[in-house]
A and B are shown apart, each in its own frame.
Chain A
Amino acid sequence: MTMTCNDRNSVMNQKTILTLAALSLAASLFNGCGKTDSAPPGGDAKTEAGGRAYTIGMSQCNLGEPWRVQMNADIRNAAEKHPGLKVVFKDAQNDTLKQRSHIEELVGSKVDLIIISPKEAQPLTEPVAKAMDAGIPVIVLDRRLLGDKYTCFIGADNKKIGKAAGEWIVKSLGGKGRVVELMGLMTSTPGQDRHSGFREGIAGSDIEIIFEADMKWLEPDARKEMESALSRFDKIDLVYAHNDPGAHGAYLAAKAAGRDGIKFVGIDALPQEGVAYVQQGILDATFQYPTGGAEAIEQALKILKGEPVPKETVLGTRLFDKSNVAQGGQELK
């Protein structure tokens, strides 16, 4: 009796697990469908000068970060301005092999051009090279691949942005002051570059870094580290955080501690995040880390029309502070 009971249960266990697996599969399929968007509706309409409709495949490495959601939005908005341009979006959910198969799928469905924002260089270099061999031009966005078997690269320079932030901080503090640096994940390249660029920017001034901590890009961690800095130091002039959520967390910590007169500077300047914080008077400045989405569509059109494009485009940054946020920021070369 106990035996049959157990048997039935184990069958049920298997069934449940199978059901769960099926459900999660269905969910991920559904998810994929949801992300595969096309612009504009009825993409086969006639077009642009050449009279041809183009399909662009966009392989995004993950949509967990708001910045990448913004990148897709920028691409979609730019593409919508050109009737006949259809963009197929793929989200690899931070899985390198999934992104690889997305590239292979796009090659298989014979898109006219591929835009890839790769998760990592090594494993994705070869799939991209194969796409090139199949005669499909590839634009690489944000992170680099190995070698040069792609059509062009568009990306921003974190070191340059960190340096711009450092220089702005020197200017706004009058050359001297006590600064807290809340760093992004220091095992990541953006974190390292935003750190070293910043140190380059403040070199030669009397700015003193009194406290530095790794907040791993996370707002709660930034708040915690800032609380520690506040309990150790009675005078802090400015907080430089490697991203806007970090600067926001530090602001909340200082406000809760009743400490005024501290300036907060962040990086990324997403419209609904950093720029909004500057507009609300929470941050004093933020520096845009551009997604390159609009530029990618611009260059894609040139490539499709057979015009030459630069092999490498390094995007500039924009400064948003109190004085210029209403006008949409100020371009820094």
Chain B
Amino acid sequence: MSQGPQPQLPSGLKRFVASPAGRAFIALLLVLVVGVVFNADQAFFKIGTHRDTLRQASVYGILACGMTLVIISGGIDLAVGSVLALVAVCGAKMAIHWGWSGWLVIPASLVVGAAAGGVSGVVTARLRVQPFIATLAMMVLARGAAKYASGGMKVSTAVQNADGTYRYVDVPALFRAIDTRILGGNLSMVTVIFLFCVAIAWIALSKHCWGRYLYAIGGNEESSRLSGVPVLAAKTCAYVASGMFAAVAGLCQAAQEQQGDPEAGAGYELIAIAMVVIGGTSLMGGRGGIGLTLLGVLTIGYLDKILSINAVPEAGRLMLTGIIIVAAVLTQRRNRT
């Protein structure tokens, strides 16, 4: 009673709560509390629910890894959803129709993603087109390429013969391997792939000079150039990396659907951006990190799952998602003092 109006927290905890990671963590905790309260007949406490949440969030999360790199460099990549579809179609063609082994399909898919990202990167960094416009163009272009490569149909295990009849081929081993579970069925393989991507992005951002360049460019591009940062190369590489992460996401998507859908991934870029921003990475560039993105991925992933297990109707879901995103961001703001 005789103490001041503010309850005194231990200084370590206080510092954590005030840090960006602490704020993102509180947002996640808030969502988890909602889940505990609205647990849908105990469904929220089953391990399977959490495994499925992580599986569902993984494809978005992989896109968010690339998005984090690009956003930290002060850019944005709207093309990731379309590149995902392009790689899903190409990957399915290679793996299902042509029967290539995974050792060929994976590098070939990464090349497709890197090429798409490379074009965005060159147009943005070298030709100085606004990243928003350059990647918007790539978003349209890659979607068109996906439709062209697939002939407008899903690339599935029903393969059309020359005479119009269908023959059925097995789901390729690569797809089965990606859409499997480990640890006694308690962890989806795509989640492992997602965490692997997070690790790569973390090494790039925190342990490699390229990461420091990206922060510097996002902070102030002109002064980084003057202090000798290879701006062109570093920025282009960020888009190439984003394209490659989108390629990984595309293979994961195709494996989980057992087909390459040219319409896949529409709107995923916005979810990936939301995950990055909810984590606390600044859209202005220069500030943020992959750990924050991981928290953002979990926050949105759990929110989605909680609304789903409670069978909330679509209209309510959209409104609640909007409200909770704003609430999460506001929580971050209040703790900033």
Chain A residues engaging chain B, CB cutoff 8 angstroms: 9, 12-13, 16-17, 20, 24, 27, 31, 63-64, 66, 69, 186, 211-214, 216, 219-220, 223-225, 227-228, 230-232, 248-249, 252, 256-258, 271-273, 276, 279-280
**Complex Cα gap A252–B175 (Å):** 13
Tell me which of B48, B144, B156, B314 contacts A27 (CB under 8 A).
Answer: B144
**Complex Cα gap A249–B314 (Å):** 19
Does B269 count as interface, using CB distance less than 8 angstroms? no
Q: How far is the CB of B189 from chain A (nearest CB, A)?
A: 11
Q: How far is the CB of A204 from chain B (nearest CB, A)?
A: 24
Task: Please name 10 further chain A to chain B contacts, defined as beta carbons within 8 Å, in addition to the given A27-B144, A220-B257, A231-B43, sorted by A numbering.
Answer: A13-B130, A17-B129, A17-B133, A24-B141, A64-B147, A64-B152, A227-B56, A231-B309, A252-B258, A272-B160
Does B101 count as interface, using CB distance less than 8 angstroms? no
19 A-B pairs in the complex with CB atoms less than 8 angstroms apart: A16-B123, A17-B129, A24-B137, A31-B144, A64-B147, A220-B257, A227-B48, A227-B308, A228-B52, A228-B308, A228-B309, A231-B43, A249-B257, A257-B48, A272-B153, A272-B160, A273-B156, A276-B157, A280-B158
4 cross-chain pairs, A with B, having the tightest CB-CB distances, nearest first: A276-B158, A227-B52, A214-B314, A228-B308
Does B16 count as interface, using CB distance less than 8 angstroms? no
**Complex Cα gap A232–B257 (Å):** 23
Q: Residues of B contacting A276 with CB < 8 Å?
A: 156-158, 166, 168
Q: Residues of B contacting A214 with CB < 8 Å?
A: 313-314
Interface size on B, residues (CB 8 A): 47
Q: A13-B129, A276-B166 are in contact. Are A186 and B156 (CB under 8 A)?
A: no
Does B13 count as interface, using CB distance less than 8 angstroms? no
Q: A69-B153, A220-B253, A276-B158 are in contact. Are A9 and B128 (CB under 8 A)?
A: yes
Question: Are B152 and A232 interface neighbours, CB within 8 A?
Answer: no
Residue of A nearest to B138 (CB): A20
Q: How far is the CB of B129 from chain A (nearest CB, A)?
A: 5
Tell me which of A31, A212, A273 contacts B158 (CB under 8 A).
Answer: A273
Q: A16-B127, A272-B166 are in contact. Are A24 and B140 (CB under 8 A)?
A: yes
**Complex Cα gap A95–B314 (Å):** 26
Q: How far is the CB of A162 from chain B (nearest CB, A)?
A: 19
Tell me which of A63, A220, A279 contacts B168 (CB under 8 A).
Answer: A279
**Complex Cα gap A9–B128 (Å):** 7
Residue of A nearest to B140 (CB): A24
Q: Residues of B contacting A228 with CB < 8 Å?
A: 40, 43, 49, 52, 305, 308-309, 311
Question: Which residues of chain B from 36 to 93 have any CB-CB distance to chain A below 8 Å in the complex?
Answer: 40-41, 43, 46, 48-49, 52, 55-56, 59
Q: How far is the CB of A78 from chain B (nearest CB, A)?
A: 13
Question: Are A231 and B257 interface neighbours, CB within 8 A?
Answer: no
Q: Residues of A contacting B257 with CB < 8 Å?
A: 219-220, 249, 252
Q: How far is the CB of A133 from chain B (nearest CB, A)?
A: 34
**Complex Cα gap A276–B140 (Å):** 31
Q: A186-B314, A232-B43, A272-B166 are in contact. Are A223 and B48 (CB under 8 A)?
A: no
**Complex Cα gap A211–B127 (Å):** 53
**Complex Cα gap A325–B329 (Å):** 54
Q: How far is the CB of A180 from chain B (nearest CB, A)?
A: 10
Question: Are B311 and A213 interface neighbours, CB within 8 A?
Answer: yes
Does B185 count as interface, using CB distance less than 8 angstroms? yes
Question: Are B154 and A66 interface neighbours, CB within 8 A?
Answer: yes
**Complex Cα gap A66–B156 (Å):** 12
Question: Are A231 and B152 interface neighbours, CB within 8 A?
Answer: no
**Complex Cα gap A77–B49 (Å):** 48
Q: What is the interface of chain A mostly: helix, strand, loop, or mixed?
A: helix
Most chain B beta-carbon neighbours within 10 Å: one of A12, A20, A228, A276: A228
Q: How far is the CB of B182 from chain A (nearest CB, A)?
A: 13
Residue of A nearest to B181 (CB): A256
Question: Are A13 and B128 interface neighbours, CB within 8 A?
Answer: yes
Q: Residues of B contacting A211 with CB < 8 Å?
A: 311
Q: Residues of A contacting B59 with CB < 8 Å?
A: 220
Q: How far is the CB of A8 from chain B (nearest CB, A)?
A: 10
**Complex Cα gap A13–B153 (Å):** 36
Question: Are A231 and B49 interface neighbours, CB within 8 A?
Answer: yes
**Complex Cα gap A232–B45 (Å):** 10
**Complex Cα gap A24–B140 (Å):** 9
Q: How far is the CB of B131 from chain A (nearest CB, A)?
A: 12
Q: Residues of A contacting B314 with CB < 8 Å?
A: 186, 214, 216
Question: Are A230 and B156 interface neighbours, CB within 8 A?
Answer: no
Question: Which residues of chain B from 160 to 187 have any CB-CB distance to chain A below 8 Å in the complex?
Answer: 160, 166, 168, 179, 181, 185
Question: Are B156 and A231 interface neighbours, CB within 8 A?
Answer: no
**Complex Cα gap A220–B261 (Å):** 11
Q: Residues of A contacting B144 with CB < 8 Å?
A: 27, 31
Tell me which of A216, A219, A256 contacts B179 (CB under 8 A).
Answer: A256
Question: Are B256 and A252 interface neighbours, CB within 8 A?
Answer: yes
Tell me which of A13, A216, A231 contacts B52 (CB under 8 A).
Answer: A231
Q: How far is the CB of A261 from chain B (nearest CB, A)?
A: 18
Q: Residues of A contacting B127 with CB < 8 Å?
A: 12-13, 16
Question: Are A63 and B129 interface neighbours, CB within 8 A?
Answer: no
**Complex Cα gap A186–B158 (Å):** 29
Q: Residues of A contacting B137 with CB < 8 Å?
A: 20, 24
Question: Which residues of chain B from 258 to 284 have any CB-CB distance to chain A below 8 Å in the complex?
Answer: 258, 261, 263-264
Q: How far is the CB of B264 from chain A (nearest CB, A)?
A: 8
Question: Are A212 and B311 interface neighbours, CB within 8 A?
Answer: yes
Residue of B nearest to A253 (CB): B52
**Complex Cα gap A186–B181 (Å):** 33
Q: A12-B127, A16-B129, A66-B154 are in contact. Are A231 and B140 (CB under 8 A)?
A: no
Question: Are A63 and B308 interface neighbours, CB within 8 A?
Answer: no
Residue of A nearest to B263 (CB): A64
Q: A24-B140, A220-B257 are in contact. Are A232 and B156 (CB under 8 A)?
A: no
**Complex Cα gap A271–B159 (Å):** 11
Q: How far is the CB of B336 from chain A (nearest CB, A)?
A: 34
Q: Residues of A contacting B264 with CB < 8 Å?
A: 220
Q: Residues of A contacting B261 with CB < 8 Å?
A: 219
**Complex Cα gap A232–B311 (Å):** 10
